[in-house]
Amino acid sequence: MNFSRSPGLRRLNLMLEKMGFISKDQKEQILNAVDIVQLIGGYVQLKPSGKNFLGLCPFHQEKTPSFTVSPAYQNYKCYGCGEYGDAIRFIMEIENFQFKEALQYLADKSGIEIKGLSQRKPESDTQSGINQCLRRAFDFYRGNLTKASAGSAIWKYIEGRQISKPVIETFQLGYVGPGWTQLHDLLKAGKFDTPIQETAGLVKKGEKGGYYDRMRDRLIFPIRDVQGRVLGFAGRDLGIKGPKYLNPPETDLYKKSGILYGVFEARDEIRKNRSAIVVEGYLDAIRLHEQSWSEAVATCGTALTNDHIRALKRLGADSVFLLFDGDKAGIAAAEKSAELFLENDVDSRVVILPEGLDPDDYFKKYGQDDFKTLLDQARYDYEFIIDRTKGRTDGTGIEFQKKAVNDMIQIANRIQDQIKKELFLSKVASDFRIDRSNLNQIAKFGKSRPVRSSTVQNSPNITISFEKRELPEVKLLQYLITHPQSITLTRENVKIDDFSRKDLSRLYTRFLELSDDEYVSLKPQEFPEFFVEFNTLITYLLQYQIEYKGPSVSRKRDSGSASDTEMVSLQQEYENQLSSFSEQSLMFLIRRLKKRRKTSEIEKLYHAPRDQARSTVIQLSNKRKRNISI
């Protein structure tokens, strides 16, 4: 009797499908549709060996191939470590997927819809168009670099940065010249509609309605996923005409919070070593690959996220080295990234480069052995966090030390694994010489003082207003609060009397009373509570919105010229810069403040008596002679 035809079994199968279970027939359908040799060949270099294929095992290190793939039986076996299985098992192990994730992955590759597991639709015409458009842009950028002459600007830049040709090929770097619509025109001629180009993140719409290329006169970095599919492009300016780096916009394909640059190039090394090195910049990752550290990847113009960590785990990384610049901004970023790893179930170690160097500059001065020593001496994430916090409390009062301990407890409470949390709290108690039971009590019932919400609440009682001439002062203070790492450069260049408004001047004075390390340790949401006497003012500054024009943006509204389009582009690019910390953005705000201050002083001369005006002019002249202005 064929039991598969019985009504009872059909009802059971239907119920299991609704609950998310996969029938045996569906599993067999997927396995039959997959060519296991082609699938595994995407991860392992296979060579024919009789009826089978042979390669080096991806699950353990070996010099002599013992990993066998059988196309007849659609399975694999390693005679060195004993790993064996079918296509589903292979994807689960190599990608660190759960069973359902592996099944869905293979079903998608085979164009099979799984009932009860997912109702994903096949790739739409729009998605297909975006992928083809990105591929055409990739070919365009690559071709430009290949065809460029030896003495051209792009090759001079590449030689100046000492980027080798093998690395250029590995990362498939490209180039685009200074024209405004080269790619746009090419894609239109190739029957790619403008909406598809815009959706792919390749062109931007100008204020006059026309479209122009996002990337102009730049070294191009194709950003690919772990399968090698192009998701978008970043660009490095060859001179000083615009922002140093342009990152791709968020699209349906490209999500910067989950994409790591170089993951396609680094995936095999990460899987082999079960370890990765995470850096901040595109060229930093490239430099490490060039120095034989091929497990390096980079975040794409954003801070590290939980999605990035999950992506590394899928590649099988059990440990990660966090490599950051040795300046204060780099150390602050390292601390935040270490906290994120501590909250997850992946060990990380923090490497801080000496002398404020970035990875690109480091290898121009030091060798591979020096770098290996840095890795060996790297502090684990929990050690780095506690050491940094403890260092900030040296020579401070009890209240500041209490705040530091409370911050450690907040980190501990975000650690999901109970054993890991207990180990971290034990280390905190030991280093701060606090009774362990007291620390447990605080961790269980909350901080030893009330905590404000992590977001600033709207307050209907705030009635602060600013005059137009005061806006540069407001904007600089907003930047100091939202980007605490900017305090050092601001302290060096801005004096208290550069502020004309008294309450803003007093707030800035209060900021300067803290050391740089103390100031950088504060989070924006902690400012109203820490500087309690300025609570209302700081709360309002965090809410207050100002529209700013970028540097030298004068728009020819009726011309419709290329310069008009360029000015609009600079304006949009500038606004993007202010959303994240950069020295360029900070210096613009400082210059704007200084300029407004000078203008105010000149305006006073028109209303002052002649003798007083003459005296003021002499004072301004003396200031310029002392070179105190920026």
Confirm whether 210 is domain-assigned.
yes
- Which amino acid, residue 272? K
- 171 shares its domain with 70: no
3-state SS class at 446: coil
How far is the C-alpha of 40 from the C-alpha of 74, rounded, in Å? 11
Pick from 44-53, 195-204, 454-463, 609-618: least confident: 454-463
pLDDT exceeds 50 at position 550: no
Is residue 310 a part of any domain in this protein? yes
Contacts by 415-421, CB closer than 8 A, 24 or more apart: 415/342, 415/343, 416/343, 416/344, 416/345, 417/345, 420/342, 420/345
Residue 177's CATH number = 3.90.980.10
| 318 in the same domain as 290 | yes
Tokens 């501590």 sit at which residue? 342
Q: Does position 301 have pLDDT exceeding 50, yes or no?
A: yes
State residue 92's pLDDT score: 85
Q: What is the pLDDT of residue 100?
A: 80
* Residue 410 to residue 11: CA distance in whole angstroms: 50
Please, which residues bridge with residue 71 across strands? none
Tell me how far apart the alpha carbons of residues 590 and 596 are, in angstroms, rounded to a whole number.
Answer: 10
Lowest mean pLDDT among 221-230, 354-363, 441-450, 466-475: 441-450
Residue 115 falls inside a structural domain: no
CB atoms within 10 A of CB 217: 17
Any idea what the CATH number is for the domain that residue 271 is in? 3.40.1360.10
| CA–CA separation, 75 and 88 (whole Å) | 10
Tell me, what's the pLDDT at 473?
A: 92
The contacts of residue 15 (CB under 8 Å, 6+ apart) are none
- pLDDT the model gives residue 567: 45
Mean pLDDT of the region 235-262: 87
How many distinct structural domains can be found in the chain? Answer: 5
Residue 628 in any domain: the answer is no
Examine the pLDDT at 172 and tell me if it is beyond 90.
yes
Task: Collapse the DSSP code of 293 into the 3-class scheme (helix H, G, I; strand E, B; otherwise coil) and give the result.
Answer: coil
| Window from 100-104, 151-155, 300-304 with minimum mean pLDDT | 100-104
Say whether both 68 and 172 belong to one domain: no
Would 553 be classed as within a structural domain?
A: no
| Pairwise CA distance, residues 269 & 315, whole Å | 10
For residue 454, name the pLDDT band (cuts at 50, 70, 90): very low
Confidence of residue 623 (pLDDT cuts 50, 70, 90): low
Stretch 166-190: mean pLDDT, rounded? 94
Please indicate, yes or no, whether residues 319 and 401 belong to a single structural domain of this protein. Answer: no
The first and second tokens of residue 588, run together, are 């613009």
What's the rounded mean pLDDT across residues 64-73? 92
Instruction: Give the model's pLDDT for residue 577.
Output: 46
Instruction: Say which DSSP state 123 is in.
Output: P
3-state secondary structure of 547: coil
Say yes or no: 175 and 306 in one domain: no
Answer yes or no: is 203 within a domain. Answer: yes
Could you read off the pLDDT of 514-523 as tens digits, one per residue? 888 778 878 8
Higher pLDDT, 230 or 535: 230
Q: What is the pLDDT of residue 302?
A: 85
Task: Output Rg (C-alpha) for the chain, integer angstroms.
Answer: 29
Which letter, b or e, does each residue of 11-30 get, where b requires 16 or more Cβ atoms within 10 Å of its Cβ? eebeeebeeeebbeebbeeb
409 and 379, same domain (yes or no): no
Question: Is there a single domain that holds both residue 352 and residue 404?
Answer: no
DSSP 361-397: HHHHHS-HHHHHHHHHTPEEHHHHHHHHHHHHHTT--
Q: Among 28-32, 379-383, 540-544, which stretch is predicted with the lowest mean pLDDT?
A: 540-544
Q: Which pTM value belongs to this model?
A: 0.58
Beta-carbon contacts of 249 under 8 Å, excluding residues fewer than 6 positions away, are 201, 214, 232
* Per-residue pLDDT, 615: 61
* Dihedral sign for Cα atoms in the order 558, 563, 565, 571: negative
- The range of the structural domain enclosing residue 516 comes to 468-546+581-607
Assign 573 to helix, strand or coil. Answer: helix
**Residue 175, beta-bridge partner list:** 219
Residues above pLDDT 90, as percent of the chain? 35
For residue 340, tell me if it sits in a domain. yes
Q: Which of 366, 385, 404 is the last residue of a domain?
A: 385
Residue that is last in its domain, among 188, 213, 246: 246
Tell me the C-alpha distance between 234 and 287, whole Å: 17
Q: Are residues 439 and 361 in the same domain?
A: no
Structure tokens at 374: 């840095």
Query: Do 112 and 142 touch, CB atoms closer than 8 A?
Result: no
Question: Looking at 110, 134, 161, which one is the last position of a domain?
Answer: 110
Q: Does 197 score more than 90 pLDDT?
A: yes
The reported pLDDT for the residue numbered 605 is 55
Q: How far apart are CA 426 and CA 441, in angstroms?
A: 13
Q: What is the Cα–Cα distance from 537 to 462, expressed in whole angstroms?
A: 8
- Distance CA(421)–CA(426), nearest Å, equals 9
* pLDDT mean across residues, the chain: 81
Partners of residue 86 on adjacent β-strands: none
What percent of the chain shows pLDDT beyond 70?
80
Q: Does 205 lie in the same domain as 237?
A: yes
Residue 113 pLDDT level (bands cut at 50, 70, 90): confident
**CATH number, residue 89:** 3.90.580.10
In sequence order, the β-bridge partners of residue 348 are 320
Domain check: are 308 and 424 in the same one?
no
**Closest by Cα among 212, 194, 215 to 204:** 212
Residue 499 lies in a domain: yes
Same domain (yes/no): 27, 51: yes
Q: Which residue has the tokens 């027939």?
A: 25
> Does one domain contain both 132 and 105?
no
